[in-house]
Structure 1
Amino acid sequence: MAGEVGKPYTLTLAGLRELPQTSAAVKFTSAKGEQEHTYQGVLLNDVLKTAEPRFDQGKKNGQLRGFVSATGAGDYRAVFAWAEIDPAFARTQVLLAVSEDGVPFDDAAGPRLVVPQDTKGGRYVSELNQLWVGVVDPVVDGVK
């Protein structure tokens, strides 16, 4: 966990298994066709809160300027607006899954990001190895 956070940290698959778990039954389309699975894991929002994202509290709903980048195997990446994963704004439950259909993921492979509300599996990031929190202000305001 890195980026605009007060407490960057590393969390292993074994560490995720020790946290409170939730399940999600999902259906989505992938390159392999229609998929239907049940995943068990930790809510992404719960993991991110631990890192203490740094949003500008001086701005109205400053967290809405935030985003999360999830990177997995082969430098595969998906980006989420903060509001998509914050239960104060959305009714979604993005998971850091530790198992699929009751079969635990291999420790060396890492967790899978699971987005139950998506109809296509493009944001299901396998072998997740980095979460990065950022804010759009520097880009939008032309600093970078």
Structure 2
Amino acid sequence: MNRRSVNHGGAVAVFAAGGLLLAGCGQSDDGKGYQEEGAATASTAPSTSAPAPATSAVPLKPGEVRVAGEVGKPYTVTLAELRKLPQTSAAVKFTSAKGEQEHTYQGVLLNDVLKTAEPRFDQGKKNGQLRGFVAATGGGDYRAVFAWAEIDPAFARSQVLLAVSEDGVPFDDAAGPRLVAPQDTKGGRYVSELNQLWVGVVDPVVDGVK
């Protein structure tokens, strides 16, 4: 989905999805994995006017997570591959439909996973990355949105994770990875059966509605 190719007549239609992303907040708890399609080591890349590469329409297998959107190198990561990356632990407390929850999760920082895909922000604008967001999709088309500043250690102390285990028990492919937001007091953004991370920018939505 290319958010950059917008004209006056098509702005609303093209960004109906953008509104849906920002409205997405829901129910669920478990996630999925990492297998590379592009190259690997990269930090936030300079923005270009070219559209982001198209992503594969191949159905995902359990335990796979597709990283796509406004990125230079879209790729897919598996749960098994996430286990091999540097791990971070987070002890969390939050409220869910099941009541008060208290767990310790272990996994990979979301920021590290996204850097590999080389997010494309407009470097010509001051702190261009602050115009960015990430939409996380899980099982049952459950979706939650994070502002880029929430996951970037240059702007926030929170450590959003793609968790590979809960309380020392590894997730299997049908359940993990799980997106974990330690700073949240409610569990709505703890996205289970995670299968897609989509990077976007708000400019087309904001500038297209005048």
TM-score category, normalised to shorter length: over 0.9
Q: For residues 2 and 143 of structure 1, do their structure 2 counterparts lie closer, same or farther at Cα, with a shift above 3 Å needed? A: farther
- 1:12–1:110 Cα contact (<8 Å) kept: no
Deviations 1:103-122 (A, max 9, x none): 00012333000001111001
Partner of 1:19: 85
Quote how far apart the aligned CAs of 1:87 are: 0.5
- 1:39–1:97 Cα contact (<8 Å) kept: yes
**Segments of 4+ in structure 1 off by > 3 A?**
none
Deviations 1:48-97 (A, max 9, x none): 11100000000000000000000000111000000000000001100000
- 1:26–1:38 Cα contact (<8 Å) kept: yes
Stretch moving more, 118-127 or 108-117:
108-117
CA distance in 1: counterparts of 2:157 and 2:174, whole angstroms: 31
CA distance in 2: counterparts of 1:56 and 1:110, whole angstroms: 33
Task: Indicate the RMSD between aligned Cα atoms, in angstroms.
Answer: 1.2
- 1:112–1:127 Cα contact (<8 Å) kept: yes
Q: For residues 100 and 6 of structure 1, do their structure 2 counterparts lie closer, same or farther at Cα, with a shift above 3 Å needed? A: same
CA distance in 2: counterparts of 1:118 and 1:63, whole angstroms: 22
Secondary structure of the structure 1 residue equivalent to 2:144: strand
- 1:2–1:8 Cα contact (<8 Å) kept: yes
Identity %: 94
- TM-score (normalizing by structure 1): 0.97
Stretch moving more, 87-96 or 101-110:
101-110
Where in structure 2 are there 5+ consecutive unaligned residues? 1-66
- 1:4–1:133 Cα contact (<8 Å) kept: yes
Quote how far apart the aligned CAs of 1:143 are: 7.2
Deviations 1:10-68 (A, max 9, x none): 00100100100010000100000000000000000011111000000000000000000
- 2:163–2:176 Cα contact (<8 Å) kept: no
CA distance in 1: counterparts of 2:100 and 2:115, whole angstroms: 33
CA distance in 1: counterparts of 2:113 and 2:209, whole angstroms: 29
Where in structure 1 are there 5+ consecutive unaligned residues? none
State which of 162, 170, 193 in structure 2 corresponds to 1:127.
193
CA distance in 1: counterparts of 2:166 and 2:176, whole angstroms: 12
CA distance in 2: counterparts of 1:142 and 1:108, whole angstroms: 39
CA distance in 2: counterparts of 1:110 and 1:133, whole angstroms: 20
- Aligned pair count reads 144
Secondary structure of the structure 1 residue equivalent to 2:71: coil
- 2:105–2:164 Cα contact (<8 Å) kept: yes
- TM-score (normalizing by structure 2): 0.67
- 2:90–2:105 Cα contact (<8 Å) kept: yes
CA distance in 1: counterparts of 2:101 and 2:203, whole angstroms: 37
Partner of 1:78: 144
